[in-house]
Amino acid sequence: MAELFKVDFVMGKTDAADYGQVKHSLIDTATDRQITSLSVSADKLQSISNYSREPKRLTFECFPTTWITNNLLSGGNEHERYISHFEVRVYRNNSLFFTGIIDTSQLSLDVSTGVLKFTCYDKIKLVSVFSDLTHYYSLTAGYQPSWILGYFLQDIEQTIPISIPYSNQFSLPTLYISTGNALTIAHVDYNDMLQFPNPPGGWTYSYHNTSWLAPKYGYWVDTISNRVIFLFAFKKIIQATYPNPATTKYQGRYRGRILKFYNNICPVVHEYDEKTGWEDSITALDNAYNELLSFFNDNGISEAQLNSLTSTGSLGDAHYGSSQLVNTWVEADFYGNLMPPRLHPGKSYETLKTEQTDNLKVLQAMLMLYNATLYTHPSGSIIFKNKDSYSSTIIDIADEDVVTFITKRGNQEKPDTTVLDVLAGDTSQLQGLVRSYLMDFYDAKWSIEATIDQLTKYNLSLQGKIRIKSKVYVITKLERNYQSDEYKLKAWLI
């Protein structure tokens, strides 16, 4: 049976009085084919290194009607950046399979034949069209992954009157760091503060009794602000005496470190180091000590907090510990789920200034970090989902419907994790761990390329499971060829 298509042109301008109404339709019948050709690109997951996400594209050709001429080929019925006020819903044999926007910059009328070509995209296209939009990321507790997408789409909706629905089907993945393999996320040396001048030059050196016997270090956990802070403070007073004439002098040595961890293990480091000159009076060092306390106060840490630090701390599934080599160094370490439940994008957390951050860069970083994906439902809703969130149902493909079948070994691909630089704090350690995680996920996967006959017989979808020749695969790319009545797909062996 010949495929019959219908294209509805729907008012997509949300502030229009007729918003949501079907304003015009092209309808195929068995005797009147108003849509002369139609093709749609494949649904596909991003590769390991491509987190910009290619939108789904649909093209069709027709002879322009009076309504099309008046509303699409003339007039001002479009948003900025060549996006029509009218959206399309496309049906095949009365079944909706595409909803999207019309790119008016690609409308093409062949004057010699009178054929008009439309190019339409799903609404993921808007992410790249409005890639220059920025956002002030400032929530102290950070942003849930779905909020990153939601704020970006909301910023687009505030730029043009359009609706961009989305569905959050994402769940936080687990990349567990065991206690036996805890990560060192901070290291503070202090042995230099204990060293006496060498050569002594006739002086005798000792530690004054106002010195601290050991540094103060540990964690301050603010569960309301979703923040873990590692603190280090040390005060050492060196007393120098000279026998003839009898002389006593004092030198103060002070060190402070504040490491505010964002995105679980990405520190923003504040440092204080001071070594005074040799003073005749111990009280002359009081100002230097007060400056150390001021350093902490200026960064929101009171003296009382310094005196009540804990050696461990936790926020959900993120756990922090500490250790030391006496008189040498202290360290902070991390174990638990590396994947943060909330993100801190942008540099405002570091500078404490109102700094705008590119929405697209933040979205790409979020998708890479969590190995997540975006694609669209036929209704037009954008779906946010984990890449390894596969359908539970397995669809069996009959041998006689497998037109072509090629098995390939996956090639190792090294992701460019520098996109994570857009997150607050030093992301270098996080990048290395995520890079290894992604390479392990993709490395050496067996995959297939296949052509499956009969579109109506099988209801295939992205991330769906199929069984071919007794082996189960998950679909990573799916293309529908309506003229040939077949699927072309790529899938991973699982």
The answer to whether 313 and 320 have CB atoms below 8 angstroms apart is yes
Name, in order, each residue with C-beta under 8 angstroms of 385's C-beta and a sequence gap of 6 or more: 169, 170, 372, 373, 374, 375, 463
Q: Terminus-to-terminus CA distance in the chain, angstroms?
A: 36
Per-residue pLDDT of 392-437, as tens digits, reads 899 999 999 999 999 988 766 788 899 999 999 999 999 999 999 9
The answer to whether 93 and 86 have CB atoms below 8 angstroms apart is no
Question: What pLDDT does 411 receive?
Answer: 67
Q: Report, in angstroms and rounded to the nearest whole number, the Rg of the chain calculated over CA atoms.
A: 31
Question: What pLDDT does 414 receive?
Answer: 80
- Strand 382-386 vs strand 166-169: parallel, antiparallel, or unpaired? parallel
Mean pLDDT, to the nearest integer, of 318-338? 97
Mean pLDDT, to the nearest integer, of 179-195? 97
d(CA 389, CA 444): 19
Structure tokens at 477: 């790319």
Name, in order, each residue with C-beta under 8 angstroms of 155's C-beta and a sequence gap of 6 or more: 130, 133, 135, 359
pTM tops 0.85, yes or no: yes
Helix axes 359-370, 145-159, angle to 10 degrees: 150
d(CA 192, CA 194): 5
**Is pLDDT at 95 greater than 80 in this prediction?**
yes
d(CA 290, CA 298): 12
Half-sphere exposure of 204 (CA within 13 A, CB side): 7
